[in-house]
Amino acid sequence: MSESLLINGVKIEDTFAEAFPMVYSRIIVTATDRYWLDQAICAATGFATSIIGCGVEAGLEEYTDKTPDGRPGAKLLFFTMGKKGLEEHLMNRIGQAIMTCPTTAVYNGAESDKIMDIGGKLRYFGDGLQMSKVIDEKRYWRIPVMEGEFVIEESFGRLDGIGGGNFLILAESTESALSAAREAVKAIDPVGGVILPFPGGVVRSGSKLGSRYKFLKAATNTEYCPTIRRQAPSLLAPGENCVLEIVIDGTTEQSIRCAMETGIVAACHVGGVKRISAGNYGGGLGAHQFRLHSILNRL
């Protein structure tokens, strides 16, 4: 039995977040200004919260001014369970959500010897009038569009990452949980190498593996649902009336650990937070275990 751990009076449960190996790619999107850049980001990362139903998890890693064409840019991360799915989602999202957005261009942001021929395939949209240019041993395609031309790098890298790092915020009220979750997301925002794929970085409908319905592979995490604690087994203590989850996908274990530490500490400094826990499946499924006490023991 490990010693109890408190941060600002908030109990940190001695448990772990169970995460899974995933593959990811980083793309760099640029546009003529921040308005059109944000439109492209919103479209490209839409409906990409969970592989359970979306097939891909995506989000904004960071804005950047260090771009291949010197224009305003952003780094986006896309995570899937396998290389085939990653290539398909990049093809669709770049082709349908970024190429369609005025003034945008797309470049590879994941240097790897595992290459996906994204731009090399999307070039065919140019109907034979596309042109290419090699700069510093990298090939770029210029695809004619009605607004001018869409520039895309030919090859994009694929790397190994991790999905499903997480922690749970258990609070006395919805207001407290929401405030704590927003502070956690704000604190995590500067951390590199991670995304929070859910809306606003927050999940209210945390899931468990399996369901009483055979056609479902996941269902609501009933043990943390406050409105049914008298109808089903509950892990909620008295005074814990709202639970929100922060899910983190990362490029490395260290990036997820850093994001979890930063977010948990921020959440614990909001009034009304009772406990911090994490979601796992008993350790039998995910290859990565992020133990809360281990992450926070140096504080």
- Mean pLDDT calculated for residue range 15-22: 97
Question: Would you state the pLDDT for residue 297?
Answer: 84
For the chain, the average pLDDT equals 96
Listed residues 112, 142, 159: the one ending a domain = 159
Same domain, 177 and 285: yes
DSSP letters, 77-101, are: EEEESSHHHHHHHHHHHIIIIITTS
Does 155 share its domain with 179?
Answer: no
For 31-137, list the strands marked E by DSSP.
57-64, 73-80, 105-108, 115-116, 131-135
pLDDT tens for each residue of 159-186: 999 999 999 999 999 999 999 999 999 9
Question: Which of 11-15, 214-218, 281-285 has the least mean pLDDT?
Answer: 281-285
| Residue that finishes a domain, picked among 111, 132, 159 | 159
Could you tell me if 32 and 295 are in contact, meaning their C-beta atoms sit under 8 angstroms apart?
no
- Report the pLDDT averaged over residues 135-145: 97
Residue type present at position 29:
V
Residues 237 and 270 in one domain: yes
pLDDT above 90 (res 203): yes
Domain identity same for 13 and 42: no
CATH code of the domain containing 244? 3.30.70.520
| Same domain as 82, residue 102 | yes
- Asked if residue 214 has pLDDT above 50, the reply is yes
Q: How many domains does the chain have?
A: 2
Q: What is the band of 1 on the pLDDT scale with cuts at 50, 70, 90?
A: very low
Which residues constitute the domain of residue 40?
Answer: 23-159
- The whole-model pTM stands at 0.95
What percent of the chain has a predicted confidence (pLDDT) above 70? 98
Whether residues 154 and 175 share a domain: the answer is: no
Note whether 141 and 208 are same-domain residues.
Answer: no
pLDDT band per the 50, 70, 90 thresholds, residue 2: low
Q: Are residues 241 and 218 in the same domain?
A: yes
Mean pLDDT score, 142-153:
98
Are 187 and 89 members of one domain?
no
The predicted-structure confidence for 259-288, as pLDDT tens digits, reads as follows 999 999 999 999 999 999 999 988 888 899
Region for residue 258 given its phi and psi (left: phi exceeds 0; alpha: psi -120 to 50; beta: otherwise): alpha
Residues 107 and 152 in one domain: yes
Domain end (from 119, 134, 159): 159
Q: Are 109 and 192 in the same domain?
A: no
Residues 182 and 145 in one domain: no
At position 141, the amino acid (one-letter code) is W
